[in-house]
Amino acid sequence: MKKTKIALIQMSCVPDTGKNLEHAAELVIEAAKNGADLVCLPELFRAQYFCQREDHALFATAESIPGPSTERLGAIAKEHGIVIIASLFERRAPGLYHNTAVTIERDGSIGDVYRKMHIPDDPLYYEKFYFTPGDLGFKAFASSAGNIGTLVCWDQWYPEGARITALKGAETLFFPTAIGWHPSEKEEYGDAQYDAWQTTQRAHAISNGVWVCAVNRVGFEHGDVVHNGVDMPGPEGAGLEFWGGSFIADPFGRIVARASHDKEEILYADIDPAQVEITRQHWPFLRDRRIDAYEGVTKRFLI
C-alpha cells in the first residue's frame, strides 16, 4: 500500500472568477512540482463566497461539468500526472444548479462527481437559494491516488455522511469548505466555533478509522463577484472572515498538519493507507456496529 502525498490549497479569493481560476491553477501546479499526488481546492474557489445574499444574476457564474474549470484543471492534471478535487457551482440544466465536487484523474478525465447533500440556510450562508440538494448519494471513488470520498462543507457536520462514505470503501475523506466568522461574533464565539468544526471532523476520522482532509479558504469577503466583465457587488456590512485553519487528521484523529487562520498556504501530508488497517484493528468500531438496531437513524425524530 503506497503512501500518497496530499496537498490542500488554502487560498483567498478575489472578485474576478477568471483570476481565481488562474490563481488556483498556479497553486495546483506549485503543489505538483513539490511532489503532490492529489491536490484538493476549497469550496467554490472560483468566486468570493456569493451566498451572502440572494441574487438571481449570480446564476450566470455557474458552469457545466465538463466545462471551463474542468478543462483548465484537467490539462494540469494530465501534464503533471496528479489527481485534483475541485468544488464548482454546477449548472446541470436550466434552473437546476448544484454545489458539486469533481475528481479529475491523472489523465485529465473526470473520474467522479459528488453533489453536496446537505444545503445550509443561515445568515450570510443562503445556499438553499442557489443549490439543489445532491441526488448522487454519498460516494467512494477508487482513484489512482487511493480510495477517497469527497463531501462538501455543511456535510462535515453529519456523521451519517462520513460513515456511509467510509462504508463504501473510502480511506481518506476530503471536505472542501468555505466557513468563517461573522466579525461581530468572533470575539465571543470564534474559538469555540473553530474548535467545534475541527472536533467534529476529527471525530469522523476516529469513528471510521479514516484520514480526514479539511480545506478552507482564508480572508475577509463581502461576496463581490466579477464574471465575464459583469460586476455583481456583494451586500453592505462587515462580511465574513474565513478562518482558514485547514488540517489533515490521521485515522486516530491526530492532527498531522494544520494551516494558519490568516494566510494562503499549501498544506502537505503523506497519507499512509496502512494506518487505516492498523487503526481499525485496534479500534474495531466497524466490527462492533449493531446494524440490527439502527433503523431509527432514518427517521427525522423518534418521539
Catalytically annotated residue among 127, 153, 213, 265: 153
10/63 Cα distance (integer angstroms): 22
Place of cell 461576496: 223
Catalytically annotated residue among 40, 90, 116, 265: 116
Yes or no: say if 65 and 88 are a contact pair by the CB < 8 Å rule: yes
213 is known as an active-site residue: no
List Cα–Cα distances, 47 to 65, 126, 184, 187, 297, in angstroms.
17, 15, 24, 27, 36
51 is known as an active-site residue: no
159/80 Cα distance (integer angstroms): 35
Catalytically annotated residue among 40, 43, 51, 90: 43
153 is known as an active-site residue: yes
Name the residues annotated as catalytic.
Answer: 43, 116, 153
